[in-house]
Amino acid sequence: MTDVAFAAIDQRKVAVASQWQLVWWAFKRHRLAMIGLWVTAFFYLIAVIPGFFAINDPSQQNARAAYQPPQGLHFIDTAADGSWSFRPYFHPTTLKRDPQTLAAVHVPDTSRKIYVTMFGEGYEYSVLGVFSARTHLFVSSEARQPLFLLGADRLGRCVWSRIMQGTQISLSVGLVGVFLSLLLGIVLGGISGYYGGRIDFVIQRTIEFILALPTIPIWLAMAAALPQDWPATLNYFMITVILSLTGWAQLARVVRGRFLSLRTEEFVTAARLDGASEGRIIFRHMLPSFASHIIASITLAIPAMILAETSLSFLGLGLQPPTISWGVLLREAQNIRSIATAPWLFAPGIAVVIAVIALNFLGDGLRDAADPYNK
């Protein structure tokens, strides 16, 4: 059915189109998946340069901004004479005490306008530890009146900036974790599927054992066993290892299944009769046939990793402050007081939901497009 599916594309181009070209054409027709792709790409862009998208230094505490509610942005600036221009601004707030309850109240001062500068200078941040920069997507034009787009937390830290910073850790945990699972999954699944027999039996029983382990208690136990005095980077690495220890089993099964079905394909027999060596059969003939399936499986595995990291950190057993991840941020929203006084502390949860859904759409689209030859 390849010819029907790609009827819109010039037949001469289809004739010389490689597997990846066909996959890409099939994928492009999947609109939700394309949206997922763009959103995911945008999230990973944030993960690479979170400082650029942040407004305030995510670790900067500000006693006057504790539980500061989100400050709305106004886009159209109307002057006194009735003329208007497109110029985003916000009203600064002043901290007051309620005379009866003595609770802190942030009152916007509507008489004053503070403009937002695009690509302005702000706090200094480092890009992937290589060089440092000061340019931000947007900053408050007055350094003494910071903009809290999504409000501030208990210690007056900017929630928006912390979400941006958390993107880096949360999304890379997914990527690194899946990469480790992939390594284990392909090697063990490949050995299992290609050689079969007793090796297959042992590996399959091991996989079944690992899948039978209740994941959350195991994660909790292993994360709790990590020494508290380890540096943040080592801690981060160990968390990804713990997450991937259970993730590889599913992937190994996928790889084994593909190997088993490919082993009996006639083109593999033909390659063997051509005199191709074992290595060439595996890497030249079999691997390209399921590479796209594997990429689809990986994409679907990343959201699970992100969710796992979020849950672990939320429960206080994953990454520890001052490391910033979405799960760590959500710990701020653990008690009823936060829900009542500062609902904006849930904003990292929305980031988790959007990232997971986008990755799932992307993975679904890839899975549907993965095999352009059998429709």
Partner 1 sequence: MTVVDLSSRRADAAAAPPRAVLEVRDLVTHFPTRTGVVKAVDGVSFTVERGKTLCVVGESGSGKSVTARSILQIVDQPGRIVSGSMLLHRPDGSAVDLATLHPRGREIRAVRGAEIAMIFQEPMSSLSPVHTVGDQIMEVLLLHLRLSKKEARARTVELLRQVEIPHPDKAVDRYTFEFSGGMRQRVMIAMALACNPAMLIADEPTTALDVTTQAEILDLIKRLQQQHGMAVMFITHDMGVVAEIADEVLVMYHGKVMEAGPVDQIFHAPQNDYTKMLIGSVLKLEQKAEIRLKRAPLAEDAPSVIEIDNLKMHFGSPAAPIRAVDDVSLQVKAGETLGIVGESGSGKTTMGRCLLRIYQPTGGAMRYRKADGTVVDLVTADKETLKLCRREIRMIFQDPVGSLNPRMTVAQIIGEPLLVNGIAKGSELDDRVSVLMDQVGLNPDWRERYPHAFSGGQRQRIGIARAISLNPRVIVADEATSALDVSLRSQMLDLMMRLQDELKLSYVFISHDIGVIRYMCDRVSVMYQGRVVETGSTDQVCDAPQHAYTQALLSAIPRPDPRLRSMHKRHRYIA
Which distant-in-sequence residues (6+ apart) come within 8 Å of 238 by Cβ? 226, 230
- Residue nearer to partner 1 on the CB measure, 135 or 261: 261
Does residue 260 belong to the site contacting partner 1 (CB under 8 A)? no
C-alpha 72/C-alpha 95 separation (Å) is 17
- CB of 342 closer than 8 Å to CB of 151: yes
- Residue nearer to partner 1 on the CB measure, 269 or 334: 269
Name the segment binding partner 1 (CB under 8 A); options: 46-54, 203-211, 247-255, 280-288: 280-288
Least distance from C-beta 373 to partner 1, angstroms? 4
Q: Which of 230, 274, 337, 353 binds partner 1 (CB under 8 A)?
A: 274
Q: Which of 167, 289, 299, 360 binds partner 1 (CB under 8 A)?
A: 289
52 DSSP assignment: H
Does residue 132 belong to the site contacting partner 1 (CB under 8 A)? no
Does residue 279 belong to the site contacting partner 1 (CB under 8 A)? no
Does residue 266 belong to the site contacting partner 1 (CB under 8 A)? yes
- CB of 39 closer than 8 Å to CB of 358: yes
* Six-digit token string for 71: 């400050």
Least distance from C-beta 365 to partner 1, angstroms? 16
Sign of CA dihedral 275, 277, 278, 279: negative
332 DSSP assignment: G
Does residue 4 belong to the site contacting partner 1 (CB under 8 A)? yes
Least distance from C-beta 6 to partner 1, angstroms? 9
| DSSP 3-state of 101 | coil
- CB of 308 closer than 8 Å to CB of 323: no
Q: Which of 95, 271, 282, 295 binds partner 1 (CB under 8 A)?
A: 271
Q: How many CB atoms are closer than 10 A to CB 323?
A: 18
C-alpha 157/C-alpha 57 separation (Å) is 8
Least distance from C-beta 157 to partner 1, angstroms? 50
Does residue 33 belong to the site contacting partner 1 (CB under 8 A)? no
Letter for the amino acid at 255?
V
Name the segment binding partner 1 (CB under 8 A); options: 135-143, 190-198, 234-242, 271-279: 271-279
Least distance from C-beta 289 to partner 1, angstroms? 6
- Report how far Cα 287 is from the mean position of its chain's Cα atoms: 27
Footprint of partner 1 (CB under 8 A):
2-4, 7-8, 11, 14-19, 22, 29, 265-267, 269-277, 280, 285, 288-289, 373
